Amino acid sequence: MVIIKFEKVNMREFIPHLDIMRVFNMAFRRAGLSVNYSEGFNPHALFFFCQPLPLGVMSKAEYFTVSTVEKAEEIMNKLNKTLPKGLKILKAKTVESDPNFAASCNRAEYVAEFFEDLPDFDIKNTILIKDKFLLTRIDKNGIEKTKDVRSLIFKLSQNNNKLKMCLGYGNENLRVDALIKQLFINYACHNMVKSITKTKVYDKNDVDFDKKYFGV
Amino acid sequence: MSFEKIKHHLLTVDKPARYIGGEFNSAKPKKNAPCKFLMCFPDVYDVALSNLGIKILYHLLNEGKNITCEFAFAPWFDMEKLMREHEVELYSLETKTPAKEFDMLGFSLQYELSYTNILYMLDLANIPLRASERNEEFPLIIGGGPCSVNPQPIADFFDLFVIGDGEDVLPKVCEEYTKLKANGTYNKREFLQKISTFEGVFVPSLNQEKIKKAQVKDLDKTYFPTKMIVPNLEVVHNRATLEIFRGCAKGCRFCQAGFIYRPMRMRKVDTLIDLAKRSMSDIGYDEMSLSSLSTCDYPYLRELLQKLKPIAEEKKVSIALPSTRVDSFESEFIDGARKSSLTFAVEAATQRLRDVIRKNITEEDILSSCKKAFESGYSGVKLYFMIGLPTETEEDIKEIITLAKKIKWYYKQYAKNKKPLRLVVSSSVFVPKPFTPFQWEKQLPLDEVIKTQNFLKNELRRLGIKYSYHDAKSSQLEAILCRGGRELSYVIEDAYRNGCCFDSWTDKFQYDKWVEALNKYELGPNELTKEQKGTLAWHNIDVGVPHELLEKEREKARNF
């Protein structure tokens, strides 16, 4: 087993999650690195990813586990030559067993940048002191659904044209794009998003995945 | 850069990955190349990047030191809207350069129903549609691919066509252009005059007596890319493709590909093994397709598979054999493969009609293949038929039902699988195509096609057999466009101006608007799909199949 941290930038944020898994599978094959396959009728390469990144969101902190006999160092060197520009392995480490990232991830940090400075949301005295934050979305059947997501907002701050957020990630997930959309509705703000980047992932005790799994 | 204007709105369109470029193995653009070529495919990204031809030419052109080649495809309607709103012109995927800034735009003509999309792409590029309206400032518009064997309906939109295999002649055209540009003597008219002497080049603005198709003589030595571009998204055919031969060993009388790609030219086993190895490590797909018009007719298939198997297994790549014909179907292939569904392109249900179209299969072939397949676990069968074939009678249609019943009975007798049989009958509509012995034949009128489809629908439903059929109206338009003359350019332009686009997409096809456009020029669908007499629109094109041979084949067909 090898755990891997990679980044997804340079327009690759528009590649959907399923295609990203395909890209890695192909990159491993191009690199001549073997991957273990599942047994059964429809064998598939054993990659274990976390919660998919929403389309259009860049990331400096994506994690997955791959079942392989290859060495971590080898993977890091070879794979970066066979991945398309914008996908890059940042860290790789050999581990005994699958750490199950999907289950241990709890929150993620994001930075959103806008074209112009944001109006003052007065976050500290409004959103953060309240015990409710309602998020309305339209589900796939076209029905409007409202959910309280306050408990999934761990941190929220603004600075000129930037929003910094730490949001529930994993089983209890809050989509960063959905939160921004709701904020903009609430404050009648029409500023345009320049970029959204996921920067860090933490477990439920607020320990950075880098520290927890890679030791740095 | 104009693309920057819409970059931040990409999330408002479906599948934005279609429009961002950066595909693995895409060519590195040469900024200062004197000949900038834009390879265009008049359909969406997912369809375009499933086509092998444009990928071969794209990589081939990029091998040339004076040529740089990029891709552009037809954006879907949501992207079109976004582009028009922000005044962004059609751009290349690799460098996001506006199409207008290229020296040449090469359009792949794979199906007639994509003709309005050519106009759509030119329009989005702000390039005048008609060659006569374009001065030297605009790129040269080039057409190629199977539909170019009768280029007349779209000839007015193009500066030149490359008819036949593009591998030898297209780089020659680019080199000639580079040469003239370099010594400052380029002049569009003279350039076109010069290249009209090249094999396969047709220049609509000139009076060429005869145009002989271009043909690569030795396919084994012909360029084939192994570092092939990998689409950003799951596309229609998402696998590595190896072209094992060009042309077809059979001569089915309705099949245009069988005639226009003659003669059959093969790659050697060792060449293919080498290409396969390199493709596997340079592309990385988990599936590799051995492609041709009838793969099982490759005489060294057994040897090729034997050598390929261990290589593929090691790389965990599965081998796919498309276009497997009933008569060459061997049970040994069934054993290894996943046991799901068999596909038979039967085309006609009676032996008489199969003799008419020269489809060399018998009912016994079909049934014995089914028996073998059922015994080894298959539970699905797909049967393809064509309706409206020349000399077709009611009997021929009724026999479709009989054959389906027999297959059901065989399944009861021989099936190893406990699942119920999944039998699907599909029908397309016969389209008389240029350069086939049936090029003069009438197409079955619309109402009769619909009557036949309804008959099959009712009868097959009663037997619990799924029936799917190709739309009669779009098949009619296909027949009109593939045999049409120059006058059709006005019809195509009118249809486009009235909103026809993506005609090959069933839910976008607007038949009424096409009829309206035809009627405006006093042309009627029924008139244009009648039996053809006199000079054919493609009489000055020579694809290497003599007129007399086609006439003789037509006579033979009529004697059954």
| Dist CA B105 CA B174 (whole Å) | 11
Q: And the tokens for B166? A: 């593009």
Q: Does A106 have pLDDT greater than 60?
A: yes
Burial class (CB in 10 A: 0-12, 13-18, 19+), A189: middle
Residue B334 scores a pLDDT above 80: no
Q: Are residues B298 and B373 in the same domain?
A: no
CATH code at B397? 3.30.750.200
Is residue B94 packed enough to be buried (19+ CB in 10 Å), middle (13-18) or exposed (0-12)?
Answer: buried
**Cβ-defined contact of B20 to A23 (cutoff 8 Å):** no
Q: Across residues B519-545, what is the average pLDDT?
A: 95
Q: How big is chain B by its Cα radius of gyration, in Å?
A: 24
Question: Does one domain contain both B245 and B201?
Answer: no
Helix (H) or strand (E) segment spanning residue B394: helix B394-414
Chain B residues in contact with A192 by the CB 8 A cut-off are 8
Contact B284 A37 (CB under 8 A): no
Q: Which of B233, B282, B316 is nearest residue A30 as measured by Cβ atoms?
A: B282
> What's the mean pLDDT in B9-18?
96
The answer to whether A82 contacts B315, with C-beta atoms less than 8 Å apart, is no
Q: What is the mean pLDDT of residues B262-274?
A: 97
In a domain, B494, yes or no: no
CATH number at residue B282: 3.30.750.210
Q: pLDDT of B101-113, one tens digit each? A: 999 999 999 999 9
Position B339 scores a pLDDT of 57
Asked whether residue B370 falls in the same domain as residue B402, the answer is yes
Token code pair at residue A180: 């921004």
Burial-class residue B187 by CB neighbours within 10 Å (0-12, 13-18, 19+). Answer: exposed
Taking the CA of residue B377 and the nearest CA in chain A, the distance in Å comes to 14
Predicted pLDDT of residue B331: 44
**pLDDT (average), residues B189-204:** 97
Q: Pick the residue of A14, A24, A192 with the most B CBs within 10 A to test the interface with B by mutation.
A: A14
Distances (CA, A) of B202 to B127, B144, B211, B290, B528: 21, 10, 6, 32, 25
Q: How far is B317 from chain A (nearest CA, A)?
A: 9
Inter-chain CB proximity A29 and B22 less than 8 Å: no
In chain A, the domains with their CATH numbers are 2-103 (3.30.70), 105-202 (3.30.70.1560)
CB distance from A82 to chain B under 8 Å?
A: yes
Name the minimum distance, in Å, from the CA of B280 to any CA of chain A: 7
| Same-domain check for residues B274 and B204 | no
d(CA A175, CA A178): 5
B331 found inside a domain? no
> Whole-angstrom Cα distance, residue B218 to residue B235?
31
Q: In total, how many domains does chain B have?
A: 3
Q: Over B420-442, what HEC string results? A: CCEEEEEEEECCCCCCCCCCCCC
Which residues form the domain of B248? 239-323
The answer to the question of residue B230 being in a domain is no
Asked if the Cβ–Cβ distance from A14 to B284 is below 8 Å, we say: no
Interface residue A84 vs chain B (CB under 8 A): yes
Indicate the SS3 state at residue B383: strand
Q: What is the pLDDT of residue B326?
A: 46
User: Does B23 sit within 8 Å of A30, measured CB to CB?
Assistant: no
Q: Are B364 and B402 found together in one domain?
A: yes
**Closest approach of B91 to chain A, Cα-based (Å):** 16
The number of beta carbons lying within 10 Å of the beta carbon of residue B113 is 23
Assigned domain for B395 exists: yes
Among residues B323, B354, B377, the one where a domain terminates is B323
| Residue B67: CATH number of its domain | 3.40.50.280
- pLDDT digit string, tens, across residues A178-188: 999 999 999 99
Rg of chain A on CA atoms, in Å: 19
Instruction: Please tell me the distance in Å from B242's CA to the nearest CA on chain A.
Output: 17
Distance CA(B396)–CA(B390), nearest Å, equals 11
List the strands of the sheet with B140-144, edge to edge. B67-73, B35-41, B104-108, B140-144, B160-162, B201-202
A119: contact with B, CB 8 A cutoff: no
Residue that is written with structure tokens 């689409």 in the block: B231
Regarding whether B387 and B251 lie in a shared domain, the answer is no
Q: Which residues in chain B have their CB less than 8 angstroms from residue A15's CB?
A: 17, 232-233
Assess whether pLDDT exceeds 60 at residue A123: yes
Residues B15 and B92 reside in one and the same domain? yes
pLDDT at B267: 98
Residues B85 and B179 in one domain: yes
Distance of residue A19 Cα from the nearest chain B Cα, in angstroms: 6
B388 in Cβ contact with B444 (< 8 Å):
yes
Boundary residue ending a domain (B298, B323, B348):
B323
ipTM: 0.92
The answer on B268 and B204 residing in a single domain is no
- By residue count, chain A amounts to 216
Residue B324: per-residue pLDDT: 59
pLDDT of A61 reads 97
Q: Is the pLDDT of residue A136 over 50?
A: yes
Chain A residues whose beta carbon lies within 8 Å of the beta carbon of residue B281? 29-30, 32
**Does B500 reside within a domain?**
no
Same domain? For B116 and B201 the reply is: yes
CB B95 within 8 A of CB B70: yes
Position B217 in a domain:
no
Q: Residue ranges of the alpha helices (H) in B283-390?
A: 301-314, 331-336, 351-357, 363-375
3-state secondary structure of B150: coil
Closest CA–CA distance from residue A176 to any residue of chain B (Å): 14
Contact A19, A55 (CB under 8 A): no
Residues found in chain B: 560
Closest residue by Cα to residue B514 from B487, B488, B538? B488
In a domain, B498, yes or no: no
Mean pLDDT of chain B: 94
Over 70: is that where the pLDDT of B338 sits? no
Peptide bond into B263 cis (omega under 30): yes
Q: What is the model's pLDDT at position B269?
A: 98
Whether A30 and B20 lie within 8 Å, measured CB to CB: no
The mean-pLDDT minimum among A69-78, A135-144, A175-184, B494-503 falls in A135-144
Residue B511 lies in a domain: no
Last residue of a domain, one of B323, B357, B374: B323
In this structure, the answer to whether residues B456 and B377 fall within a common structural domain is: yes
Kindly list the residues from chain B whose CB atom is less than 8 angstroms away from the CB atom of residue A37: 316
pLDDT average, residue stretch B379-392? 95
pLDDT digits (tens, 9 = 90+) for B142-187: 999 999 999 999 999 999 999 999 999 999 999 999 999 999 999 9
Is the same domain home to B312 and B352? no
Cβ neighbours of B233 in A, within 8 Å: 15-16, 19
For A34, name the nearest residue in chain B, comparing CA atoms only: B315
Question: What pLDDT, on the 0 to 100 scale, is given for residue B137?
Answer: 94
Contacting A residues, span 172-201, partner chain B, CB-CB under 8 Å = 192-194
User: Does the distance separating the beta carbons of A16 and B17 come in below 8 Å?
Assistant: yes
